[in-house]
Chains A and B, each alone.
Chain A
Amino acid sequence: EIVLTQSPATLSLSPGERATLSCRASQSVSDYLAWYQQKPGQAPRLLIYDASNRATGIPARFSGTGSGTDFTLTISSLDPDDFAVYFCQHRSNWPPTFGGGTKVELK
Chain B
Amino acid sequence: EVRLVESGGRLVQPGESLRLSCAGSGFRFNGYAMYWIRQAPGKGLECVSYVSGGGFATYYTDSVKGRFTVSRDMSTDTLYLQMNTLRAEDTAVYFCAKGRNSFGAFDIWGQGTMVTVSS
Using CB atoms and an 8 Å cutoff, list the residues of chain A in contact with chain B. 34, 36, 42-46, 49-50, 55-56, 87, 89, 91, 94-101
Contacts and interface: CB of A to CB of B under 8 A. Distances in A.
A49 B44 contact: no
Contacts of B45: 44, 87, 89, 98
A95 B104 contact: no
Contacts of A89: 45, 105-106
B102 to A, nearest CB: 10
28 contacts: A34-B106, A43-B109, A43-B111, A43-B112, A44-B95, A44-B106, A45-B109, A46-B100, A49-B100, A49-B104, A50-B105, A55-B105, A56-B107, A87-B44, A89-B105, A91-B104, A91-B105, A94-B50, A94-B59, A94-B103, A95-B59, A96-B47, A96-B103, A97-B46, A97-B47, A98-B46, A98-B47, A100-B44
B9 interface: no
Contacts of A91: 103-105
A97 B50 CA distance: 13
Residue of A49, A94, A96, A98 contacting most chain B CB atoms (<10 Å):
A96
Contacts of B112: 43
Contacts of A98: 44-47
Given A87-B45, A101-B44, A46 B111 contact: no
Contacts of A42: 111
B55 interface: no
Nearest to A96: B47
Contacts of A99: 44
